[in-house]
Copies of this chain bind each other. A is one copy, B any other.
Amino acid sequence: MRVAELSRTSGVPVPSIKYYLRAGLLPPGERTAPNQADYGDSHVHRLRLIRALIEVGGLSVAAVKEVLESVDAQGADLHEALGSAFAATLPARTAEEESEYTETARRTAADLIERHGWLVGSDSKNVEALVSALAVMYRLQQHDVESMVELYAQHANTMATREVAWVAERGDIDAVVEAAVVGTFIGGAVFNAMRVIVHESASKKTLAAS
């Protein structure tokens, strides 16, 4: 299809499509004449993915490029592709400086990984993000941190295992990787919105009862 039809099908305006082409987010179409290119279904999918990452994931164009590059670089190794796609979704955050809290946080994380049998590399960015967040929780001396951490671990276990099964039901590698990226971001946005809705609702109920 030509660029005008690609725009109609995907719902993305032509100037945006041209911008994504120039920025290297969208692979070029097949050239059919000096000023004309042909686009396929893969372009429609890729455009939807780009828009979802920007609009709901809240990612910058540069961050979208990084996610897509890690997905594109993987070829046929599904496991590597999924791992990179998930790792690329984590925002870079200032690391908690090394302190007694970081040590406690690292022990807690190692204990969780062992008890729950999580298969993660020791150099996983995801584990580092967990240690950072836990260290801040300990530093702020919130009471009863352990029982909250266990609550989060149990929910993360059952919820994320179901999500991965949902993603794995797709057919080919492209569909699986796309679903994994979309699931992480869009699913995450859906869940986070529900979580604060329940916060709002539960505090109203608690206060009404007291």
Contacts and interface: CB of A to CB of B under 8 A. Distances in A.
Contacts of A28: none
B152 A202 contact: no
A144 interface: yes
A130 B193 contact: yes
Given A54-B94, A56-B132, A118-B197, 6 more contacts: A133-B193, A140-B182, A143-B169, A151-B163, A156-B191, A165-B206
A109 to B, nearest CB: 9
A208 B58 CA distance: 33
| Residue among A52, A126, A134 with most chain B CB within 10 A | A126
Interface size class of A (residues with CB under 8 A): 35 or more
Given A193-B126, A204-B79, A159 B152 contact: yes
A167 B83 CA distance: 34
B197 A58 contact: no
B204 A48 contact: no
23 contacts: A52-B139, A56-B133, A78-B203, A82-B200, A118-B200, A119-B200, A119-B201, A119-B204, A120-B201, A126-B196, A129-B189, A130-B190, A137-B182, A137-B186, A142-B182, A142-B186, A143-B169, A148-B187, A152-B187, A160-B196, A164-B203, A168-B203, A188-B195
A75 to B, nearest CB: 15
Interface stretch (A1-9, A19-27, A33-41, A85-93): A85-93
Contacts of A54: 94
B166 A201 contact: no
Interface string A110-129: 00110001111000101101
B140 A52 contact: yes
